[in-house]
Amino acid sequence: MTVTLPPDAEGITEAARLLATGELVAFPTETVYGLGGDARDDRAVARIYEAKGRPSFNPLIVHLPDLVAVERIAHVGPKARMLAQAFWPGPLTLVLPLRDGAGISPLVTAGLETVAVRVPEHPLAQRLLRAFGGPLAAPSANPSGRVSPTQARHVLEGLAGRIAAVLDGGPCAVGLESTILLADPEPVLLRPGGLPVEAVEAALGVTVATGGDAGKPTSPGQLASHYAPEALVRLGASEARDGELLVGFGTVKGTLTLSDSGDLVEAASRLFQTLREADRLTGPGGRIAFAPVPETGLGRAINDRLRRAAAPRG
């Protein structure tokens, strides 16, 4: 059951309480409705991918109430600071270097060393972020491949029964996702969106290069090579061959495991840390074998990521 929460103090308190227990709550921003979960909680983030039925782990945007909160998790360079001061709160997302020990789930950043952050302007988003008191990972609140929702009703059409609640703030003013930028050292547009690129150019006094749509081949392609482990990876293994470290799943037991009980949410939540741990244990030139993971639900995204890890390196 997905409850609709009213846009008042009680609704916000309940939304923050649900989020603190690892549940998912859709909430309005000025761009589109976001599907929020605690960005520090691996399982909550895994459930976001599950609820959307995303076939791959694209990195998610982290929402925070202000620049001070952003600086606790990311390094803000000079151009990023100018843009933050000019356009936050608002429909601008900045991709910034992640701070060590920021506490953001590696599933949010897809194992990258950068994090996409945004300070939304919508008063309900602001009140929710302050009531929750932590970073919220939030992609658009629609099933993968469908259009982004700009009303609570749209969220329910796609996700009813898959999330705990939706905070009803009426229609979104912008109706288009945020503009995504890499600001430093030189600005690159990763996704055009609610903030016109001309406004960014005027604020910085420089031309902005176009890096393609952050959600399309350019960045996921780069992500794949970014996150290849050093070890060689074999998939669909029922047991370890000589010199291999086996990562188990369900009935296939390994030195490490994605999920002993064969739970796909748990497996997704542990995926990036397990890849890192296996890589560390085997070292350069080592070999890692992964037990088969079913190609259903979150298993599709897990297998997509594992296939990238196993792909031949150029």
Using CB under 6 A as the criterion, what x/- string covers residues 36-75 for binding ligand TXA?
A: ----------------------xxxx--------------
Q: Does 214 contact ligand TXA by CB under 6 A? A: yes
Q: Does 93 contact ligand TXA by CB under 6 A? A: yes
Q: Does 187 contact ligand TXA by CB under 6 A? A: no
Q: Does 303 contact Mg ion by CB under 5 A? A: no
- Tell the smallest beta-carbon distance from residue 128 to ligand TXA (Å): 12
CA distance readout (Å), 264 to 231, 257, 267, 302: 24, 12, 5, 9
Nearer to Mg ion, 97 or 143 (CB): 143
Nearer to Mg ion, 109 or 140 (CB): 140
- Tell the smallest beta-carbon distance from residue 310 to ligand TXA (Å): 22
Q: Does 114 contact ligand TXA by CB under 6 A? A: yes
Nearer to Mg ion, 140 or 274 (CB): 140
Q: Does 179 contact Mg ion by CB under 5 A? A: no
Instruction: Give the one entry of Mg ion, ligand TXA, none that residue 109 binds, where binding means its C-beta sits below a cut-off of 5 to 8 angstroms depending on kind.
Output: ligand TXA
Q: How many residues bind Mg ion (CB under 5 A)?
A: 1
Out of 12, 15, 29, 54, name the contact with ligand TXA by CB under 6 A.
Answer: 29
Out of 93, 140, 151, 179, name the contact with Mg ion by CB under 5 A.
Answer: 140
Tell me how far apart the alpha carbons of residues 229 and 282 are, in angstroms, rounded to a whole number.
10
Residues in the site for ligand TXA, rule: CB under 6 A?
29, 31-32, 34, 58-61, 93, 95, 109, 112, 114-116, 118, 138-140, 177-178, 180, 190-191, 214-215, 219
